[in-house]
């Protein structure tokens, strides 16, 4: 059977992608940020999964106000990096895993979560920047990736509670797949940031660090935090953090297993307008 080996959490700031693509990672502004991911790239090489289930949000790139799926699973064989206005990022195309994605769709929908099935979709910085941070600049991404897009852009957005429960359903789906695949689940976006309005530039490092503590130690309690607290404390785009609860809900301890091992924790302020947070949690084997 397939199993979830680890979960990875990281911010997805587009300027990070631009710094990598334009060879600026050694500039003084960027050095401390990329230092925080050196361990992660090494860890990825030593713990290469068979598939990454990548929870992210689309930023009005593949979807628009014409169509707003709350939860969308990418079942295609491949996904092209999107043109977000400056041309597509020079990164490899994303190879999907249609068989596992279809199995997860079947299982999770029968487990009472209504997913939108997407057979054609370009993927924006929400998905490609986390891959770049964790994998560097390879010729091809190290394994197939199942994109899982969550609406955190246009209200109403899903609650942290629902995201946490969805993660549990995703774990049940993966663990009922009849192939011995090692699957990582990634939760991306966040941490505190606000890109527009009078509070543009807001960062709340104290709240973010408390979020990391609670995500590790008591995600069930953290899942009860209402949207309004994310928006008030972490800014309008801080709501992206609910996606981290999907990945955390898929970890073994939530289903009565052992607590995860914290392999890496990193926090850095700022990257562009955003507080960057990053965690790697492993399920004990
Ligand atoms: C920034 C952060 C984001 O999450 C995003 O989607 C776009 C921009 C920023 O900090 O610039
Ligand atoms: Fe974003």
Q: Which residue has the CA at smallest separation from atom 6 of ligand 1?
A: 13
Domain ranges (residues) in the chain: 3-270
The encoded tokens of residue 169 equal 């359903």
Average pLDDT of the chain to the nearest whole number? 98
Backbone φ, ψ for residue 237 (5° rounding) = -90, -5
Given a cut of 90, whether residue 118 has pLDDT beyond it is yes
Q: What is the pTM of this model?
A: 0.98
- Give the chain's largest Cα–Cα span: 52
User: How would you classify the pairing of strands 145-150 and 71-74?
Assistant: antiparallel
Residue-wise pLDDT for 20-49, tens only, equals 999 999 999 999 999 999 999 999 999 999
The reply to whether 193 belongs to the active site is yes
Please say if 278 is a catalytic residue: no
Split at pLDDT 50, 70, 90, the class of 143 is very high
Please say whether the beta carbons of 41 and 85 come within 8 A: no
Atom nearest to 271 CA in ligand 1: 10
Is the CB of residue 59 below 6 angstroms from any atom belonging to ligand 1? yes
Q: Rounded to a whole number, what is the distance in angstroms from the first to the last CA of the chain? A: 14
277 pairs with which residues across the strands?
267
Would you give the distance in Å from CA 108 to the centre of its chain? 18
At 215 the three-state DSSP class reads: helix
Would you say 265 and 278 are in contact if contact means Cβ atoms under 8 Å apart? yes
**Nearest to 189, CA basis, from 103, 275, 70:** 275
Give yes or no for residue 274 CB within 6 A of ligand 1.
Answer: yes
Q: In angstroms, what is the span from residue 190 Cα to ligand 2's centroid? A: 7
Pocket test for ligand 1, best of 9, 12, 13 (most atoms within 8 A of CB): 13
Pairing label, strands 78-79, 94-95: antiparallel
21 contacts 115 by C-beta, under 8 angstroms: no
Residue 1 CA to residue 198 CA, distance in Å, equals 51
pLDDT on residue 285:
82
- CATH code at 3-270: 3.40.830.10
Beta-strand ranges (E) seen in 44-97 are: 51-56, 71-74, 78-79, 94-95
| 281/261 Cα distance (integer angstroms) | 5
In the chain, what percentage of residues exceed pLDDT 90? Answer: 100
Look at residue 161 and tell me whether its pLDDT is greater than 90.
Answer: yes
Average pLDDT over residues 168-188: 98
- Which residue is catalytic, options 97, 193, 264, 278? 193
């Amino acid at each position: 059977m397939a199993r979830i080996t680890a979960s990875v959490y990281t911010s997805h700031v587009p300027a990070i992608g631009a710094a990598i693509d334009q060879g600026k990672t050694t500039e003084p502004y960027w050095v401390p940020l990329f230092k925080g991911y050196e361990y992660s790239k090494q860890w990825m090489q030593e713990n290469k999964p068979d598939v990454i289930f990548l929870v992210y949000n689309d930023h009005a790139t593949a979807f628009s106000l014409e169509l707003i799926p709350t939860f969308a699973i990418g079942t295609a064989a491949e996904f092209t990096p999107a043109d977000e206005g400056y041309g597509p990022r020079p990164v490899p195309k994303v190879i999907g895993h249609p068989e596992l994605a279809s199995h997860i769709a079947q299982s999770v929908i029968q487990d009472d979560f209504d997913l939108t099935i997407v057979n054609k979709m370009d993927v924006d910085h929400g998905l490609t920047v986390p891959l770049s941070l964790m994998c560097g600049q390879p010729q091809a991404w190290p394994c197939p990736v199942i994109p899982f897009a969550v609406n955190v852009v246009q209200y109403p957005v899903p609650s942290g509670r629902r995201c946490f429960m969805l993660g549990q359903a995703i774990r049940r789906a993966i663990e009922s797949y009849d192939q011995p695949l090692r699957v990582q689940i990634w939760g991306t976006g966040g941490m505190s940031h606000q890109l527009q309005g009078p509070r543009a530039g807001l960062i709340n490092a104290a709240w973010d660090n408390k979020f990391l503590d609670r995500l590790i130690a008591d995600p069930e309690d953290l899942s009860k935090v209402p949207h309004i607290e994310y928006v008030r404390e972490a800014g309008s785009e801080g709501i992206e953090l609910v996606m981290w609860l999907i990945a955390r809900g898929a970890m073994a301890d939530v289903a009565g297993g052992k607590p995860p091992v914290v392999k890496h924790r990193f926090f850095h302020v700022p990257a562009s307008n955003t507080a960057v947070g990053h965690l790697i949690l492993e399920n004990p084997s």
